[in-house]
């Protein structure tokens, strides 16, 4: 986020003072220093409207003003701005006002009578900070937009993956980190006699009935180790004495903090 001197000199600056001599002194000083967009007003009541319509990168604000003092102007700026950064450099002849001005949201202050070298240095530094803050805000908004766009793409990709998987296999399944089924598609109830508690509000039956222990134990060990598994052979003998065999594959699922959130996989009935 490199800034050039042209970026800084093109910043919009507003001088607010009820004394024309001070306004002339500051605007001439800024123009001679190379600043190209310098504005001024003797009326503090119009500052908030001017900043709302076309925001300034820096406002040089005198605190001792008629009708509406500098502290009231800053309160108005805070109330009417969507930007949390209030670009105000206060001008004061009262040393006791400096701390109060900073607490009210001013970014810096200069004292009367002016030291023009000091004023120019403070203005340059504040504009540089303001412009960098603005660029950082834009970059953050762009990053948020990209994250939202990428998230939407991933969700679409996930939906396509599930749809294709469900078409290409006998059933598709997902489990949470405790092993409870959270999503099942396909004729699982007809083929396995299983119900999904999270989806149907019923207590699932034991999976021990009729299942041959070898393949099921090996697959469960893979799940406990958070490892993927491919084509594990699961066999069982049903109550009527008939035999069933399945090839089951699964892969772990993790969230963006790399915590295991469950497994998902596919199953196909096979004939041995």
Q: What are the tens digits of pLDDT across the range 161-180? A: 555 555 556 778 888 888 77
* pLDDT in the model for residue 159: 64
210 or 67, higher pLDDT:
67
Distance from C-alpha of 106 to C-alpha of 45, rounded to nearest angstrom: 18
* pLDDT in the model for residue 61: 94
Q: What are the tens digits of pLDDT across the range 55-83? A: 999 999 999 898 899 999 999 998 876 67
Average pLDDT, the chain: 82
User: For residue 198, is pLDDT > 70?
Assistant: no
Q: Residues 173, 265: contact at Cβ < 8 Å?
A: yes
Which candidate, 49, 121, 3, places its Cα nearest to that of 14? 49
216 or 53, higher pLDDT:
53
Q: Residues 71, 27: contact at Cβ < 8 Å?
A: no
User: For residue 216, is pLDDT > 60?
Assistant: yes
Q: Residues 56, 14: contact at Cβ < 8 Å?
A: yes
User: For residue 102, is pLDDT > 70?
Assistant: yes
Return all residues near 176 (Cβ < 8 A) that are at least 6 apart.
182, 198, 261, 262
For strand 229-237 and strand 58-62, is the pairing parallel, antiparallel, or unpaired? Answer: unpaired
Distance from C-alpha of 106 to C-alpha of 75, rounded to nearest angstrom: 11
Instruction: Reduce the DSSP state of residue 160 to 3 states and report it.
Output: helix
Which candidate, 213, 195, 214, places its Cα nearest to that of 204? 195
159 or 214, higher pLDDT:
214
Which domains are seen in the chain, by residue range? 5-142 (3.40.50.2300), 169-270 (3.30.450.20)
The proportion of the chain whose per-residue pLDDT surpasses 90, expressed as a percent, equals 29
User: For residue 113, is pLDDT > 70?
Assistant: yes
User: For residue 206, is pLDDT > 70?
Assistant: no
């Amino acid at each position: 986020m490199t800034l050039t001197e042209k970026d800084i000199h093109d910043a919009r600056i507003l001088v607010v003072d009820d004394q024309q001599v001070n306004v002339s002194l500051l605007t001439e000083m800024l123009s001679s220093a190379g600043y190209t967009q310098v504005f001024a007003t003797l009326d503090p009541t119009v500052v908030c409207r001017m900043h709302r319509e076309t925001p300034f990168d820096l406002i040089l604000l005198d605190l001792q003003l008629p009708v509406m003092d500098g502290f009231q102007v800053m309160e108005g700026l805070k109330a009417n701005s969507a930007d949390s950064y209030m670009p105000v450099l206060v001008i004061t002849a009262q040393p006791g006002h400096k701390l109060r001005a900073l607490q009210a949201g001013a970014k810096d202050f200069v004292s009367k009578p002016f030291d023009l070298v000091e004023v120019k240095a403070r203005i340059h530094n504040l504009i540089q900070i303001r412009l960098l803050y603005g660029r950082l805000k834009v970059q953050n908004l762009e990053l948020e937009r990209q994250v939202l766009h990428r998230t939407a793409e991933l969700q679409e990709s996930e939906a396509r993956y599930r749809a294709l998987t469900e078409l290409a296999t006998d059933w598709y399944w997902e489990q949470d980190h405790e092993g409870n089924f959270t999503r099942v598609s396909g004729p699982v109830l007809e083929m396995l006699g299983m119900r999904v508690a999270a989806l149907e509000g019923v207590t699932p039956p034991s999976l021990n009935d009729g299942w041959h222990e070898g393949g099921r134990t090996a697959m469960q060990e893979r799940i406990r180790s958070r490892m993927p598994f491919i084509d594990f052979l699961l066999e069982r003998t049903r109550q009527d004495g008939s035999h069933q065999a399945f090839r089951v594959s699964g892969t772990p699922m993790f969230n963006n903090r790399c915590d295991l959130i469950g497994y998902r996989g596919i199953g196909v009935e096979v004939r041995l």
